[in-house]
């Protein structure tokens, strides 16, 4: 799920069949081994985030794995208060806004992501903050991964 998810998924699971479907509330499929949301959760309006994550979990078969990767709101807060802001801060917070699918409508701390996953029936197995780049500028993102209970 997400524009860059296909390449990212192929990098992780070289031999896997990759489906680039949009799994959103109302779409019923329950046999995925894994769902990867790469940088697209912020594009979901905040009021719809819980329903969306629950739909992703419902799409997983029992024991299936959910991975959510998204920009770090904590990193953005530090950058906002910094006298030398990272040039990518605005895109990190609001998306590129060059097409309808690139507007951010929500933001997440690590605690938010862990809570969303737990409340949606995911047993968290990995949670970390790492780096990604926007136009050669280093930013931080969160990765939360877990299995369907």
Q: Measured on CA atoms in the order 23, 70, 95, 12, is the torsion positive or negative?
A: negative
pLDDT in tens, 37-76: 989 899 999 999 999 999 999 989 999 999 999 999 999 9
pLDDT in tens, 122-144: 999 999 999 999 999 999 999 99
Q: What DSSP element (H or E) covers 112? A: helix 110-119
User: Rounded distance, CA 124 to CA 127, Å?
Assistant: 7
- pLDDT at site 31: 83
Instruction: Give the closest residue to 53 by CA, choosing from 140, 129, 127, 115.
Output: 115
Name the pLDDT band for 26 (thresholds 50, 70, 90).
low
């Amino acid at each position: 799920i997400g524009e860059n998810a296909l390449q990212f998924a192929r990098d992780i699971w070289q031999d896997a069949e990759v489906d680039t479907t949009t799994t959103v509330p109302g779409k019923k499929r329950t046999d995925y081994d894994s769902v990867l949301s790469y940088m697209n959760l912020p594009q979901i309006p905040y009021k719809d985030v819980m329903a969306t994550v629950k739909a992703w979990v419902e799409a997983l078969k029992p024991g299936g794995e959910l991975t959510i990767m998204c920009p770090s709101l904590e990193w953005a807060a530090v950058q906002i208060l910094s006298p030398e802001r990272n040039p990518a801060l605005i895109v990190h917070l609001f998306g590129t806004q060059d097409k309808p699918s690139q507007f951010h409508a929500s933001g997440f701390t690590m605690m938010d992501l862990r809570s969303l996953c737990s409340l949606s029936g995911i047993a968290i197995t990995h949670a970390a903050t790492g780096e990604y780049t926007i136009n050669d500028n280093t930013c931080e993102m969160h990765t939360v991964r877990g299995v369907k209970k």
